[in-house]
Structure 1
Amino acid sequence: METADMYISGVGSYLPDTVAVEHAVAEGWYPAEEAELHGIASVAVAGDLPAPEMALRAARAALARSGRPPADLDLLLYTSTWHQGPEGWPPQAYVQRHLVGDGVLSTQLKQGCNGMFAALELAASYLRADSGRQAALLVAADNYGTPLADRWRMLPGAVAGDAAGAVVLDTAPGFARLASVSTMSVSQAEEMHRCAEPLFPPGVTEGRTVDFAAHNDTFRRRAVTGGEGTMVLVTLDERMVEVIDRALSEAGIKAADVTRVTCMNTSGEIAEQICEHRLGIPASRSTWDFGRTIGHCGASDQVLALEHLVRGGGLGPGDHLLMFAYGPGVTISAAVVEILQTPAWSQRREGGA
């Protein structure tokens, strides 16, 4: 989806304190061999701070930086990957009550770790549908510190971190332009995140823990022994390349024009594989050095990286950030953000550079 008429006027985040991987290994939470293999340094852990409260804090920062009052917003999209509060209760209502107000359409998206990409596509389409619409607030938040999730072992090649990220997508020029966003599906792989688990009754109602790593391993072992499964893995690899190529093409750039790359905060070898083997971009241009300090924070990873780079001077006017993610379904997403100007909240601007 080409989105040259859509801008990012504000971005915000909430990151709690981190727990060092060395401490987790010493406590027996995280296997030492996994720590050595994946190179993760620390993980953000929010304790008992609810995800919707983290979302509210990130949203406040993004809206303040956008320069828009809440009354200018036309849409609120809240995306998450894990439970947010009481069952049957919508977390977006918390942000709406305490920040946005009642005059906007608000809803929750459950699109997994690339939920923010779906939010960008939906918000861009919603804003375009009526010339009077001005801006949308997109929020992602998760806290995995619950009994049915073991953050240290639930994900293949990653540790789950707690955080929130928020973006104000705007029809008026902001500090950045959303140049493109694209998503593709490989529905033949939908079993990857539920392998060997029945559809009913839902696992959470029976107190079953979530173990995506085990599901993924089972799916891949089956794929190795079966021709059809092998073809699914090949298709996943092909679609990954295809969706990135589409996002770059719609943004009017090539891989060589990409300044930085941000993927999901997983292991170093995965970041290297995506950057060097699929894009031909040095892994040093990825945000892995930042991601390895906070863990895989659900749908917030790319927003957290965007804010980190802009705030720290890692991206400046004329630079392009390629964002990439995949989630259950399987859905694979990519987007390109072009930096137009250095915002006032950047350390580069604050330092007078």
Structure 2
Amino acid sequence: MRPTEPVGIVTAGLWLPEGRSLASEAVASGRLRRSDARALGHESVPDAGAVAPPDAAVLAARGVMDAAGLTGDGLDVLAHAWMYHQGHDLWSPAHYVARRLDALRALPIGIQQVCNGGAAAMGLVMAWLASSAPDASARPRLGLVTTGDRFAEPGFDRWASDFGVAYGDAGTAVLLRRPAADDDVLLLRSIAMVADPLLEEMHRGADPFSQVARGHRDRVDMRATKRAYLRTHGVLPFTSSNRRAIRTIVSQALADGGMDGRDPRLTHVVLPRFGAKTLAEAWIPVLAEQVGGAHLLDLGRETGHLGAGDALAGLAELVARGLPAPGSSALVFSAGAGFTWSCLLVESPAR
């Protein structure tokens, strides 16, 4: 999926709380095996404490809007994505984020696509901006994408609710503009997404449909549902689909941007924020075959997996580090339950 003209990334931001959850404490309490802690490769991950997930998104968004010198009343569309509980049972966190930002004329949209939510929201807003009729005043169209997640106990154990992933709390925000302006930090060239709905069972397992949240267990337990899936299907369907999906989104994103994996303009690849062993076994070997000349950036050692926010956090870190160099490009990855895989191709405009 590519816009007919590049959509500008005005700027991107990542809000992280000061609190930290320590792997050593999870091991000491018996929640996490020492071998699993080594495989994850995180000494600690951010813990938001009392900060609600939508407020984390607002904090990230305010930083982005302030950096751009813009206010909420200039936004045309706002998409908020999340993975886990936002603080109320039946409620729209996207509208809350819009209200807190005074974005009262923007269209708020909620995206609940689990860990791939941020990338899906980027795709939706990119398409919305690319297809919108020009404003009568000829002003640019502005879209904001946010994510916010907090993996709080007792309903979620950030260290032991899943295999190969530790979950960190964060808020992220990316401001998009069409048409792109000369001072936009990056250009969004394309977004490739592919899904394999046959794998939805990995997060459903053998459990019947319940009538209330956490009706089967006191906390979210993706390990239990994945074990049930593996007992029935084995590991091959997922590993094969994962390799195929990564290859597909890389090829598609680059082709839509007029590039291939050997293009010297492709200098950086931002990995999803999964555990070290998961990346080493399931991601890095596949990417090395396709984009071996680019630098692989594993930016999740200090944060863990940020729920719906991995892709947006990757963009924020590229901006903060001044990457890639002008005239060069980067791929940013995301993946989530369902399963859906995403790849964003961004370019640093030559000044």
Note whether the superposition's TM-score is higher than 0.5: yes
Question: Residue in 2 aligned with 1:269?
Answer: 277
CA distance in 1, matches of 2:274, 2:195: 21
Q: Which residue of 2 aligns with 1:201?
A: 211
**1:339: which partner in 2?**
348
Residue in structure 1 matched with residue 126 of structure 2 by the alignment: 124
- Tell me the amino acid that sits aligned with residue 9 of structure 1: V
Q: SS state of the match for residue 272, structure 2?
A: coil
Tell me the amino acid that sits aligned with residue 147 of structure 1.
P
Distance 1:103 1:38 in 2: 43
Residues 27-38 of structure 1: pairs in structure 2 closer than 5 A: 27-38=29-40
The equivalent position to 2:45 in structure 1, one of 39, 43, 46, is: 43
Report the equivalent of 2:253.
247
SS in 2 for 1:57: helix
Q: Please show how residues 258-297 of structure 1 align to structure 2 within 5 Å.
A: 258-272=266-280, 273-280=282-289, 281=291, 285-288=295-298, 290-297=299-306
Identical pairs, percent: 28
**Structure 2 CA distance for aligned equivalents of residues 42 and 318 of structure 1:** 36
Paired residues of 2:145 and 2:173 also in contact (CA < 8 A): yes
Provide the rounded CA distance (Å) in 2 between the counterparts of 1:32 and 1:117. 32
Contact kept in structure 2, 1:39 and 1:267, CA below 8 Å: yes
Q: Which residue of 207, 223, 234 maps to 2:233?
A: 223
Q: 1:163 & 1:85 partners in 2: Cα distance?
A: 15
Q: Alpha-carbon deviation of 1:112?
A: 1.0
Alpha-carbon deviations, 1:109-168, whole Å to 9, x = none? 101111112111211221122222601010001001131111111122011100011001
Of the three residues 303, 307, 319, the one matched with 2:312 is: 303
Indicate yes or no: 2:241 matched with 1:238.
no
* Aligned residue number for residue 76 of structure 2: 74
TM-score by length of 1: 0.88
Larger fraction in helix: 1
Q: Once the 2 structures are TM-superposed, how far is the Cα of residue 247 of structure 1 from its aligned partner?
A: 0.8
The Cα shift of 1:233 comes to: 4.7
Measured in 2, the distance between the counterparts of 1:34 and 1:158 equals: 10
C-alpha contact 1:54 1:141 (8 A) present in aligned 2: yes
1:341 CA displacement? 6.4
Q: Tell me, which stretches of 5 or more residues in structure 1 are unaligned?
A: 343-353
1:309 and 1:193 map into 2 onto residues whose CA distance is 31
Where 2:326 maps in the other structure, the secondary structure is: coil
Closer, same or farther: CA 99–325 of 1 in aligned 2, 3 Å: same
**Secondary structure at 1:255's aligned position in 2?**
coil
- Are 2:65 and 1:56 equivalent residues in the alignment? no
The residue that corresponds to 2:165 in the other structure is 158
RMSD: 2.3
Extract unaligned runs of 5+ from structure 2.
Answer: none
| Superposed displacement of residue 315, structure 1 | 3.0
Task: Write the deviation string for residues 171-206 of structure 1: whole angstroms up to 9, x where unpaired.
Answer: 132110011002112111111111112223244356
SS at match of 1:303: helix
* C-alpha spacing 1:29/1:235, structure 2 compared with 1 (3 Å): closer
Give distance in 2, aligned partners of 1:144 and 1:243. Answer: 29
Alpha-carbon distance between aligned partners in 2 of 1:22 and 1:188, rounded to the nearest angstrom:
36
User: Which residue number corresponds to residue 330 of structure 1?
Assistant: 339
Contact 1:271/1:283, CA 8 A, preserved across alignment: no
Q: Distance in 2 between matches of 1:38 and 1:312?
A: 25
Distance 1:262 1:220 in 2: 29
Q: Which runs of 4+ in 1 moved over 6 A?
A: none
Distance in 1, matches of 2:239 and 2:325, equals 37
The AA in structure 2 aligned to 1:192 is M
TM-score after normalising by structure 2: 0.88
